[in-house]
Amino acid sequence: MAFLSLFKRLWVKVAFATILVVIATTELVVRFSIEEQLSETHRVIREDLQHRAAMAACIIPGELHNQALLGISDTNAAFQLAAHKLMSLRNAASFKEHWYTLVPLGGDSACFGVMSHPEPFSGHMHYFRDSTVLAQFNDVVHEKVSIATDVYSDDNGDWISGMAPIMDSAGTVVAVLEVDLTAHDLMQQTQRVYESMNEIRFLGISGAVVVGLFVGLLIGRPINRVNRAVQALTESNFSRNVTIPKSVQLLPDETSELIISVNILSSRLQSTLNELRDAHEKLSHLDKAKTTFLHFLTHELRTPISGLLLLRHVPEVQDDLLEDTAEIISASVESTERLHRLSLGAEKYVRALSHAPDFSEPSCIVTCVKSVLIDALPGGDRSDVFVDGVGEEACMVLVPEHVLSMIFDPLIRNALKFGGEPLGLTIDIAKQHGDYVVAISDTGVGFDPQHAKALLEPFFVDDIMGHSEGTGVSLAIAAVMAEHYGGKVVPHSKGKGQGSTFTVYLPVAL
């Protein structure tokens, strides 16, 4: 596995591919060279045998050969002279096999004549087993030319031979001189060719490894630097610049342009990040100031509001108030009570904004929804309220129970308040892409679809003329608390009088 993991690196892939290409090219060249060398070796050997046979035939005149064959014996001076000449030429050429002459008899046979062998077998018959060699032998006799055979076989083994005619003064071919080389000797010379080619093959493989590593590093190193720089960018580290390797500096290409572009991008992202940090810091200060101001405002409003609310006791202590005065006091008390509710709602919303999430306490959505329904439904359960979804054991989220109530209580009460009669309230719970999705639907008054996003903003009222109580922050608080825990609230309605659905998304507790 560790070896395979190396192939995840670009330079290793490039190096491996280069090594394979160079090795394959070297092998093709070696094989072609072997064919050429073997062909050349065979040609040189055949030419050498042909040349030696021709030279030996020249120093043995036909008349001497004829005299040597008359009454062959150890005391025949002509035979001894001819044999001595063949022996001297053979020894000078360092030939292992003996040289001899063949006297043509016609057909597929010939007779051994003079030879360099110490135990002559002159007069013995020789039969040609290979028709090609026989044809070449006849060409030497009739055409009076020197030739070299290809490798052939006879009763004594595999051979390659050179043949040359021995002629008398009249130009008549009296015999054919044959110089033999065994196939084993030929194979030894052929083996030397293979050995030299194996050395070249080894050098080629070694060179392929060196070239492959060089090319792999030459191409892969700049890309690796760019990859590391991009990884740093994904980790929001924009301070790392890529140094252009000297090899790329000497031979600029698309890689150098890519490195320059990455460095420029990194510099610009760093600058943008610094600007965003400054802006975030300013916004944090502004948000903190806003929260502090709202806390201060809601706190400071309590005293004057409490004072104004004392006006409600005036009619109790003074019975003779004028009718107009009583109406003014009643209207003032009503407005003050509304302002008081608004102040309390704003304070709750500010606390929701500054809430610190606590992910240590898992809670069950189904249990929370049922608890809210029991508190919110007058007279207990209603037959027109449906809760459908997964089992309780599968509905755990990392949200404290009281926070879940802050999310679902206003949404369910809103559906009960504006759901109409019959209520038709449906709560569907499902699991989707790592979230629990709770859809709270009713068949009531609904709302204008263009107000869907604004419904989750604090103090927004869809029907301002029909609004007489409430603060317009309960839905906003539910949305803010859901966002604190990685969720969201999505309102939906087809329009007025067509009901509405508030969908809550909360991450599943892992």
* Residue 292 confidence (pLDDT) above 60: yes
Select the more confidently predicted residue: 410 or 287: 410
Q: Which two tokens stand for residue 433?
A: 């892409």
* pLDDT 10s digits, 255-284: 777 777 878 888 888 888 888 888 888 887
* Neighbour count for residue 411 (Cβ, 10 Å): 24
Residues 69 and 42 grouped into a single domain: yes
Whether the pLDDT of residue 338 is over 90: the answer is: no
Same domain, 309 and 398: no
Nearest to 354 by CA among 411, 396, 291: 291
Distance linking the first and last C-alpha atoms of the chain: 31
Q: Is the pLDDT of residue 164 over 90?
A: yes
Interatomic CA distance for residues 325 and 310, integer angstroms: 15
Other CB atoms within 10 Å distance of the CB of residue 480? 21
Q: How many CA atoms lie within 13 A of 356 on its CB side?
A: 1
Q: How many residues does the chain have?
A: 510
When pLDDT is averaged across residues 196-214 and rounded to a whole number, the result is 86
Query: Is a pLDDT exceeding 60 seen at residue 171?
Result: yes
Mean pLDDT of all residues belonging to the chain = 81
Average pLDDT for 101-121: 87
Q: Which of 293, 319, 354 is the last residue of a domain?
A: 354
Nearest to 116 by CA among 145, 148, 137, 94: 94
**In this structure, are 334 and 409 located in the same domain?**
no
pLDDT at 115 over 80: yes
Averaged over 86-113, what is the pLDDT? 88
Q: What sign does the CA torsion over 56, 59, 60, 63 have?
A: positive
**Tokens standing for 240?**
């790392």
Inter-residue contact 61 to 174 (CB < 8 Å): no
Same domain, 248 and 290: yes
pLDDT at 318: 62
Q: How many angstroms separate the CA atoms of 396 and 386, rounded?
A: 20
Are residues 176 and 28 located together in one domain of the fold? yes
Alpha carbons 83 and 75: distance in angstroms, whole number: 12
CA dist., res. 297 & res. 293, Å (int): 6
Rounded distance between C-alpha atoms, residue 334 and residue 329, angstroms: 9
Predicted pLDDT of residue 310: 59
What DSSP string runs through 143-201? H---EE---EEETTEEEEEEEEEEE-TTS-EEEEEEEEEEHHHHHHHHHHHHHHHHHHH
| Half-sphere exposure for 381 (CA within 13 Å, toward CB) | 4
pLDDT (0 to 100) of residue 467: 45
Tell me, what's the pLDDT at 410? 92
- Give me the pLDDT at residue 334, please: 72
Q: Are residues 31 and 170 in the same domain?
A: yes
User: How many helices and strands in the chain, by DSSP H and E?
Assistant: 13, 14
Q: What is the CATH number of the domain that holds 434?
A: 3.30.565.10
- CA 443-448-453 angle, 5° bins: 105
pLDDT of residue 390: 59
Measured CA to CA, the distance from residue 164 to residue 167 in angstroms comes to: 10
Confirm whether 3 is domain-assigned.
no
Segment 247-258 shows an average pLDDT of 71
Residues 21 and 45 in one domain: yes
What DSSP string runs through 439-451? EEEESS----GGG
Residue 225 belongs to some domain of the structure: no
Under 8 Å CB-to-CB from 240, ≥6 apart: which residues? 228, 229, 232, 266
Q: Does residue 266 or residue 409 have the better pLDDT?
A: 409
The average pLDDT across 349-362 equals: 85
pLDDT at 44: 87
Last residue of a domain, one of 305, 324, 354: 354
Lowest mean pLDDT among 77-81, 110-114, 242-246, 487-491: 242-246
- For residue 9, count other CB atoms closer than 10 A to its CB: 15
Q: What is the mean pLDDT of residues 328-346?
A: 71
Chain segment 456-510, per-residue pLDDT in tens = 888 776 654 344 455 678 899 999 999 999 999 999 999 888 889 999 999 988 7
| Structural domain contains residue 82 | yes
Which residue, among 355, 347, 354, 352, has the nearest Cα to 297 in the 3D structure? 347
Looking at per-residue pLDDT, the higher value among 46 and 467 belongs to 46
Q: Are 190 and 38 in contact (CB under 8 A)?
A: yes
| Cα–Cα nearest to 481, from 399, 369, 360 | 399
Same domain, 474 and 371: yes
- 394 in the same domain as 278: no
- The two tokens of residue 111 are 């007779």
Three-state DSSP at 419 gives coil
What is 50-92 written as a DSSP string?
A: HHHHHHHHHTS-HHHHHHHTTT--TT-HHHHHHHHHHHHHHHH
Residue 416 has pLDDT above 80, yes or no: yes
Assess whether 335 and 375 both reside in one domain: no
**What is the domain extent for residue 298?**
239-354
Q: DSSP letter string over 242-310?
A: PPPPHHHHHS--HHHHHHHHHHHHHHHHHHHHHHHHHHHHHHHHHHHHHHHHHHHHHHHHHHHHHHHHG
Predicted structure pTM score: 0.46
Q: Which of 190, 223, 255 delimits the end of a domain?
A: 190
pLDDT at 468: 46
Number of domains in the chain: 3
pLDDT of residue 466: 44
Token output for 237: 């580290």
- Residue 166: pLDDT above 90? yes
Q: Which of 130-144, 316-330, 344-358, 383-397 has the highest average model confidence (pLDDT)?
A: 130-144
pLDDT of residue 458: 83
Tell me if 7 is assigned to some domain: no
Q: What is the CA radius of gyration of the chain?
A: 56
* Least confident range of 60-64, 135-139, 280-284: 280-284
Quick one: 174 and 294 in the same domain?
Answer: no
